[in-house]
Structure 1
Amino acid sequence: MNPWFSRNTRAVLTITARTVRFLIPWMERIPHSVIALLGRFSIAAVFWKSGQTKVEGFAVDLVEGTWSLGWPRFADSTIDLFRYEYNLPFIPPEIAAPLAAFAEHLFPILLLVGLATRFSALALLIMTAVIQIFVYPDAYPTHGVWATVLLYLIARGPGVIAIDHWVARRYRDLAA
């Protein structure tokens, strides 16, 4: 074996190991609250945008900064979407469509402000499972990412940048 190659390989591995040992503690310092806020905003945007496709007359897109405030009503295609494309078993499209549209607006708002975060994430996780199992079973990479974010929020909570944190602190002080 070539000793030059072996020496250089050892040097590269040593530098790599030192770099990793230096970087990991910095990575571990990323605050949970920052991760949770990014997760809450991101997953809320996914479901909100989906909900917005089901209604007309009321549109809000915080990312693009556009809005159209009016009385919301179902888009003409919403019931047909549930009847022909989603085709959920057990739930008639006339019931599933308004429930989904309501859920895709309510739970993202709750996640965004950090109110009832764990329960809102649980509701969206159940919705994700229904979508994965009954609607788009081949979309597991996307749904897996959604589930991961939602499970993180269920397990760890919303962080300190949330109404839940303020409520918990207030009632913890009252209970003491």
Structure 2
Amino acid sequence: MSTEKFDGNPPVLGAFGALYQSVYGKVQDLIGHNGLALFARLAIAGVFWRSFLNKVETNGYFDFVEVINNFEIQRSLIKLPAFPVTITDQTFANFADGGRNALPLIPGDIAAVMATTGEGLLSLLLVMGLFSRFAATGLIFMALVIQFFVFPTNAHFWGTVALWLIPLLYLVGRGSGAISLDYVLTRQLSR
């Protein structure tokens, strides 16, 4: 059972309110912070990891062909970065002056390396649950840079960035939970 007090509405609706509190109190105990933090870490890391894979040379495993609107598209069930990790020419072009991801005050080649490294490294840290608050803070910074300098529209904020910020802010505020290297290392170092 969770040690957290149920934070739902008090049972002011009689039997229905008591049933509501009983059911969702059990749901809160079942999910809890540890499960929610793990899910938040994996879900948001997946978003930024896929973006990282779009910026580097990759190897595909378990390839197949998908037909969409009579066009054959080569797909892979698993994509991993090719080693040594190499940023694609297209990524550098996207960050160059006039490119779709060009940033003010930062040269394109440096911005491409920073964005690619940040997406890859911070995603891996979140998956492992290592320095999770630091990783989530870094991805919040990246999300805000994307919002303000790459796609500065309300539609992009409410349709994308706000949805990224929810798990990231949760992780910064509450931490990575017990299913993480942060938790294991903290327990070991406190002995």
> In the alignment, is residue 171 of structure 1 matched against residue 171 of structure 2?
no
1:63-74 to structure 2, matched below 5 A, reads 64-67=77-80, 69-74=82-87
3-state SS of the aligned residue for 2:130? coil
Amino acid of the residue matched to residue 92 of structure 2?
Answer: I
1:140-151 to structure 2, matched below 5 A, reads 140-141=157-158, 142-151=160-169
Distance 2:41 2:60 in 1: 20
Query: Deviating runs (4+, > 3 A) in structure 1?
Result: 13-19, 57-60, 64-70
Larger radius of gyration: 1
3-state SS of the aligned residue for 1:77? helix
Instruction: Name the CA shift for 1:107/1:68 in 2 (closer, same or farther; >3 Å).
Output: closer
The equivalent of 2:4 in structure 1 is none
The equivalent of 1:3 in structure 2 is none
**Cα deviation code 1:113-150 (max 9, x no counterpart):** 01111101111111111111111122112111111111
Distance 1:67 1:91 in 2: 28
TM-score (norm 2): 0.75
Instruction: Name the CA shift for 1:148/1:156 in 2 (closer, same or farther; >3 Å).
Output: same
Amino acid of the residue matched to residue 84 of structure 2?
Answer: W
Q: Are 1:52 and 1:59, in contact at CA under 8 Å, matched by a contact in 2? A: no
The equivalent of 2:114 in structure 1 is 99
**Cα deviation code 1:39-94 (max 9, x no counterpart):** 1001111111101111114568xxx4444643221212111111210121111111
Higher helix share: 1
Which residues of structure 1 form unaligned runs of 5+?
1-12
> In the alignment, is residue 157 of structure 1 matched against residue 175 of structure 2?
yes
Distance 1:157 1:136 in 2: 29
TM-score (norm 1): 0.81
Which residues of structure 2 form unaligned runs of 5+?
1-12, 62-76
1:82-93 to structure 2, matched below 5 A, reads 82-83=95-96, 84-93=99-108
Distance 2:165 2:23 in 1: 28
Q: Are 2:60 and 2:78, in contact at CA under 8 Å, matched by a contact in 1? A: no
Q: Are 1:107 and 1:120, in contact at CA under 8 Å, matched by a contact in 2? A: yes
Higher strand share: 2
Q: Are 2:49 and 2:120, in contact at CA under 8 Å, matched by a contact in 1? A: yes
1:2-151 to structure 2, matched below 5 A, reads 16-29=16-29, 30-57=31-58, 64-67=77-80, 69-83=82-96, 84-138=99-153, 139-141=156-158, 142-151=160-169
**Cα deviation code 1:86-110 (max 9, x no counterpart):** 1211111111001111111101001
* Corresponding pairs, count: 159
Q: Between 70-79 and 144-153, report the one with greater CA deviation.
A: 70-79
Q: Are 1:107 and 1:124, in contact at CA under 8 Å, matched by a contact in 2? A: yes
